[in-house]
Structure 1
Amino acid sequence: MKNIFVQGAILPEQIAESIAKHSHKKNIGAHEIFLGQIRADEINEQRVTSIVYTAYEDMALTKMDGIREALFSKYDLTCMHVYHSLGEVYAGQLCLFVFVSSKHRADAQNACQELVEQIKKELPIWGKEVFEDDTYQWKQNN
């Protein structure tokens, strides 16, 4: 089981490095990437400054492993990488990196979209939206 969690924001350098590592794989014809970024939403006249992520890590990793296996069975995929932040991530920073590779673009695109939806719906990961005045509320996934 691969650990998908990273502490803090996902850095652009991490994304570039992950993409670069695939240049030697000559059987890949398509990559699909999803990047989740923290928005500075305004809710009840308060602006979100960050989100603090927590997770039931063991359960999330087990569920992620099952999702991964199901998508590899459903689509002709070459690679799949998922990184999700834990801890505090500030507005404008990245909190989710999903990277799917395949021989053909349709498989990569469809698998990536399905994967993001399943991560949001099925993994026990919670976000606490922190406002400018240090009050907070639990984020609703949408």
Structure 2
Amino acid sequence: MDKKKPKKVFVEGAIPPEKIAQSVANHQSKTNIGAHSIFLGQVRADEIDGKTVYAIEYTAYKDMAEQVFHEIRESAFLKFDITCAHIYHSLGKVNKGELCLFVFTSSARRKIAIKATNYFVEEIKAKVPIFGKEIFEDETHQWKVNK
């Protein structure tokens, strides 16, 4: 595979639903694709120690994170027979109910697209230096632990 430049994956604030719709629309002319798989991560209103999360503020080592995203993307193209892969992750404050992660893969076959999407999500959670600070309704906060 050619040496490609890391793609920009970060979106300031929540990922707008229009971005997702536009991504799907952009692939309608690609007739070698038979399946798309989409994962959408959304901020939950978790209750922790009697307090409810109303937002998460995401920060990252941006250059390092984009490099890791790039490495995950390149390894996915080697591992799976996918046609396209797009990843967007929020930076900054994202309120409960809003989207913070968008992974979109395309392939000729559905099982491949689904497996690739799952691979992306697990690798992102395990390797990308993104940090989330849970903000509670009483304005207190704590660092989020990925599970």
TM-score (norm 2): 0.95
Aligned twin of 1:91: 96
CA distance in structure 2 between the partners assigned to 1:82 and 1:62 by the alignment: 13
Matched, 1:23 2:23: no
d(CA) in 2 for partners of 1:45 and 1:130?
13
Between the aligned partners of 1:14 and 1:40, the Cα distance in structure 2 is 23
Tell me which stretches of 4 or more aligned residues in structure 1 moved more than 2 Å: none
Q: Distance in 1 between matches of 2:41 and 2:99?
A: 6
The CA RMSD measured in Å over matched residues stands at: 0.5
Q: Distance in 2 between matches of 1:23 and 1:91?
A: 31
CA separation in 2, counterparts of 1:69 and 1:39? Answer: 30
Unaligned ranges ≥5, structure 1: none
**1:106 offset after TM fit, Å?**
1.2
- Out of 136, 139, 145, the residue aligned to residue 140 of structure 1 is 145
Deviations 1:47-66, CA, capped at 9 Å, x for gaps: 00000000001111111111
Given candidates 111, 125, 132, the residue that maps to 1:127 is 132
3-state SS, counterpart of residue 137 of structure 1: strand
Q: Alpha-carbon deviation of 1:20?
A: 0.3
Q: Which residues in structure 2 correspond to 1:1-142 (within 5 Å)?
A: 1-142=6-147
Q: Which consecutive residues of structure 2, in runs of 5 or more, have no partner in the other structure? A: 1-5
Residue 17 of structure 1: SS of its match in structure 2? helix
User: How many pairs are equivalent?
Assistant: 142
TM-score (norm: length of structure 1) = 0.99
Sequence identity (%): 58
Between the aligned partners of 2:83 and 2:120, the Cα distance in structure 1 is: 15
SS at match of 1:86: strand
How far is 1:82 from its partner?
Answer: 0.2
